[in-house]
Amino acid sequence: MNNSEPSQAAGYELADFSQIQGVPCPCGTARRAFTDVEDFPGTVHVTEICMSAKLHYHKQLTETYYFLECDADAQMQLDDEIIDVKPGMSIMIRPGTRHRALGKMKVLIFVLPKFDPADEWLD
């Protein structure tokens, strides 16, 4: 079996983020896994966040960020609050919370339910 292909018959799905095409998002560039796996209720993203990330929110989606890599001065804006972040931290962002990353970083994002690009709202 090829390690880059999912194998539902084997009881698991495999995602090789190096083989997933990045797509533009308000934060930068996202690589999204498990979007087409019907029996998995969410998606998993590796997102490279750029310096010009846009403040946005979701009406339905809950996102959980896990910070893999961050500049020393990295922060997150959550509504009107700005907090410092560093690798190893995680933030769960509920629907309706306006958010954006401030600074360059790489994050792993767990999205529930499955990511829907129609649920990205900019002010």
What single-letter amino acid sits at 4? S
The total of other beta-carbon atoms located within 10 Å of residue 71's CB is 14
At CA 90, angle to CA 89 and CA 94, rounded to 5? 155
C-alpha to C-alpha distance for 49 and 72, rounded to whole angstroms:
14
Q: What percent of the chain has pLDDT over 90?
A: 88
Tens digits of residue pLDDT in 60-115: 999 999 999 999 999 999 999 999 999 999 999 999 999 999 999 999 999 999 99
pTM value surpassing 0.85: yes
Q: Pick from 123, 119, 84, 118: which is nearest to 101 by CA? A: 84
- CATH number for the domain harbouring residue 52: 2.60.120.10
78's CB contacts (< 8 A; 6+ apart) are 91, 93, 97, 98, 99
pLDDT value, residue 123? 83
Asked if residue 51 belongs to a domain, the reply is yes
Asked if residue 65 belongs to a domain, the reply is yes
C-alpha to C-alpha distance for 7 and 123, rounded to whole angstroms:
41
* Count of structural domains, the chain: 1
Asked if residue 38 belongs to a domain, the reply is yes
User: What residue numbers bound the domain in which 40 lies?
Assistant: 22-122
